A and B are shown apart, each in its own frame.
Chain A
Amino acid sequence: MKEKTKKKFKFTKSKAEVTVMASLGVLFLVVFAYLPMFGLVLAFKDGDNVLNISRAIFRSDWVGFDNFVEFLHDKDFLNVLLNTLGLNLLQLAINFPAPILFALLLNEVRNGKTKRVIQAITYLPHFLSWVIFAGIVFALVNMDTGIINQILLKTGIVKEAVDIKGDPKYFWALIIITSLLKGIGWGSIIYMAALAGVDPTLYEAATMDGANRWHKAVYISIPSIAPTIVLFFILQISSLLNNGTEQILAFQTQSNLDRSEVIDTFVLKYGIRKNMYSYASAVGFFKSVIALILIASSNFVSKKITGQGVIY
């Protein structure tokens, strides 16, 4: 190795300085990303309730896969897994295509000013934190004073006021709808930009040939933005299971835990609040592995379809 380096590069001041710069990033990642990965050995140890970390990592007994087995037998396991996968897949199925649809609709608006006003309004929720958003939504869905219940009662959809905030039945819908409100406008930006780049002569030629608006959307607009859609779909899959904690924690209440407890909130509860470091590490590890499998498979699919992987 040493001989090779000697042969290959002349060591210059420039190289040294550039290496120092890039190494600062590596140093940061070693501390805040790779050290925690090393900390995953905790998942295979009996370090629950051992408050001294180095003792938990180095001195406690190896227990093999006991922590994982324990999680599989946890009474909440099925619920937590169902919630995690269910919420993420629903988001993928509903919240991913919604901004595309929105962009296509917005693209049909010809008045530039109207378009800009709609954009300004629909981007706004993106900038509010989930805490604020949850507070706003709680006011809307309140059983006694909220407008949503009034509308539902007046239109006869429900017979008596429903507890949207507290009843686990409504939790998934709450998450999906609030994600839509917060994300559609902002998510559409990228597709609007892609649509703006479509050659206008294509539309003109289509009009000449008697294509109507629907034809143009299906045969020109959508194929033109397809690469963007594929790219963002892959990105979305690679961050599956990793997003939404801020949102879910903001909407979670004691009474809707049945449908709102996901792996991340489960880890928080056991790991930080109850000091069960090993158990929570194992549960977190379980999630990381599932996520990695999803990424690897999406990378594989992406290479097949677009000839370009997510990672390389």
Chain B
Amino acid sequence: MEEKIVPADLPAEEIPAESVPAEPTAEDILTMHAGEKKSKRVHYSRRYGAVDIVILVVLILFSFCCLYPLWNVLVGSFNEGLDYTKGGVYFWPRKWSFDNYALVLNDMRIWRGYLITIGRTLLGTLLHLLLTSLVAYGMSRRELPCPRVFHFINIFTMFFGGGLIPYFLVLKMLGLINTFWVYIIPNMYSVYNMIVIRSFIKGLPEDLHESAVMDGAGEFRIYFRIILPLMKPVLATVALWTIVWHWNSYLDSMYYVTNSDLYSLQYVLMRIINESSTPTGNGVMPLPPDIFERMNPKTVSLAAIIVSTLPVLAVYPFLQKYFAKGVMVGSLKG
């Protein structure tokens, strides 16, 4: 099957652009949109049929299912609490009210949670990148003695672990329980991310390293001065994964922290949502009684959901492209 379909005597310029096999380069696989453009050109001449419409309807219906729940919450959060309990607030607020937000924004727990979450996200991501990429660099070098041993020590932990309780006891032994550092230190390193970064470093030209060694640079110097700046794309990807993970995680607050001043935003939110479903409500509403009567813990919790989702929604349009790329970088590992 060596023969080309195109006759050999045909001048290259006359070959229709579409029929040139698109050699999928790494670049193409990394940037999905480039690939899409190509396939779009191929299908250009086809007409829309019934199947197209069915597919489109299915996809739009699913998109609606993804988007509507958020809209439902947004609408509820702007509705007056007492009125909301009558039901039927689905597409637009029936009785506009900003009291829910007034209450949420006055809730110190939310602000405290924000502070903790922002702190852990920034510091946690920074230290994670530093340690993980440093180890990845060390693991990527040929000079490393017994690479198989190092590799095994790392890989084994991906498949077997001590489980929650011994892990909890180790954290306790280290004095991390009930401190802010329990969010940071145990999450400074990840084997998966190390492998992703390492495979990126391995793709960099070896000459860089050689010439730096010629110039008398040590490995740490090479890492900080040469490799680190070149790693920006993969670091951006891993950073985004880590940021999302830190921002969304709540289990560590639930498991390892009992001091409510140290709860992360998501856990604070979880408590507010759970309180709202108990009939008594949270009972710490610093509001005049006439407003208080019209309040409902449910709509307040909806406002809290919106307040804590806002940062994600605000940055989402900018991040989307990077995230799609990031998954590709990760998949190269396979």
Q: Which residues of A contact B (CB under 8 A)?
A: 9, 12-15, 17-26, 28-29, 31-40, 42, 53-54, 56-57, 102, 105-110, 112, 114-125, 127-132, 134-140, 142, 144-145, 147, 150, 165, 181, 184-185, 189-190, 192-193, 196-197, 199-201, 203-205, 213, 228, 231, 235, 238, 245-246, 249-250, 253, 264, 267-268, 271-272, 277, 280-281, 284-285, 287-288, 291-292, 295, 311
Mark out the residues of chain B between 250 and 303 whose CB falls within 8 Å of any chain A CB in the assembled complex.
250-251, 254-255, 266-267, 269-270, 273, 277, 298, 301-302
From residue A170, how far is it (CB to closest CB) to chain B in Å? 16
How many residue pairs at the A-B interface have CB separations less than 8 Å?
320
Q: Considering only CB atoms, which chain A residue lies closest to B35 in the complex?
A: A196
B163 contacts A by Cβ under 8 Å: yes
Besides A15-B145, A35-B170, A268-B164, 19 more A-B contacts (Cβ < 8 Å) are A9-B145, A13-B218, A14-B213, A18-B144, A18-B219, A21-B134, A29-B191, A53-B172, A120-B317, A124-B67, A135-B273, A145-B76, A193-B32, A201-B21, A204-B18, A204-B42, A238-B159, A281-B165, A311-B155
In the complex, what residues of B have CB within 8 A of residue A253's CB? 277
B48-56, B95-103, B104-112: which one contacts chain A? B48-56
Cα distance A209–B196 when bound, in Å? 42
The CA of A147 and the CA of B188, in the complex, are separated in Å by 43
Q: Which residue of chain A is the closest to B40 with respect to CB atoms?
A: A112
User: When the two chains form their complex, are residues B19 and A201 in contact, meaning their CB atoms are under 8 A apart?
Assistant: yes
- Give CA–CA (A37, B67) in the complex, Å: 43
Shortest distance between the CB of A305 and any CB in chain B (Å):
15
Nearest A residue (CB) for B164: A267
Binds A, one of B118-126, B231-239, B321-329: B321-329
* B189 within 8 Å of A (CB atoms): yes
| Contact, CB under 8 Å: B302 / A42 | no
Whether A109 lies near B167 (C-beta < 8 A) is: no
**What would 27 A/B residue contacts be, using CB atoms closer than 8 Å?**
A15-B144, A22-B139, A33-B162, A35-B162, A36-B166, A39-B169, A40-B163, A109-B56, A110-B46, A115-B36, A122-B66, A124-B67, A127-B312, A131-B248, A131-B250, A131-B267, A135-B305, A139-B73, A144-B85, A181-B66, A204-B18, A204-B42, A228-B331, A246-B251, A271-B168, A288-B163, A311-B159
Contact A110 B164 (CB under 8 A): no
Interface flag for B39 (CB, 8 Å): yes
Q: Which of B37-81 contact A (CB under 8 A)?
A: 37-40, 42-43, 46, 51-52, 55-56, 58-60, 62-63, 65-67, 69-70, 72-73, 76
Chain A, Cβ-Cβ closest to B174:
A31
Residues of B within 8 A of A127 (CB): 244, 248, 312, 316
Residues in B neighbouring A40, C-beta threshold 8 A: 162-163, 166
Q: Give Cα A181 to B239, complex, Å.
A: 25
Interface of A is mostly: helix
What separation, in Å, do the CA atoms of A271 and B155 have in the docked complex? Answer: 27
Residues of chain A within 8 A (CB-CB) of B29 are 193, 196-197
How many residues of chain B have a CB within 8 Å of chain A?
A: 115
B32–A19 touching, CB < 8 Å: no
- Could you tell me if A134 and B273 are in contact, using CB atoms closer than 8 angstroms? yes
Q: Which residues of A contact B87 (CB under 8 A)?
A: 144-145, 150
Partner of A136, one of B141, B164, B305: B305
Known: A19-B144, A147-B72, A197-B35. A102 touches B62 (CB 8 A): yes
CA of A128 to CA of B67, assembled, Å: 12
Task: Look across to chain A and name the residue whose beta carbon is closest to the beta carbon of B277.
Answer: A138
Q: A115-B36, A287-B163, A292-B159 are in contact. Are A29 and B143 (CB under 8 A)?
A: no
Complex CA gap A132/B70 in Å reads 10
Which of chain B's residues have a CB closer than 8 A to the CB of A34?
A: 157
B8 touches A (CB below 8 Å): no
- B51 x A32 contact (CB < 8 A): no
Bound form: Cα–Cα A125–B73 in Å: 14
The answer on a CB contact under 8 Å between A32 and B170 is yes
CA A166 to CA B277, docked complex, whole Å: 11
Tell me, rounded to whole Å, the shortest Cβ–Cβ distance linking A137 to chain B: 7
Q: B298: which A residues are within 8 A, CB to CB? A: 139, 142, 145
- Contact of B22 with A by CB under 8 A: yes
Decide if B165 touches A284 in the complex (CB within 8 Å): yes
Residue of A nearest to B34 (CB): A196
Whether the pair A28, B166 counts as a contact (CB closer than 8 A) is no
Nearest neighbor of A108 in chain B, beta-carbon distance:
B55
Among A22, A34, A142: residue with most chain B CB under 10 A: A22
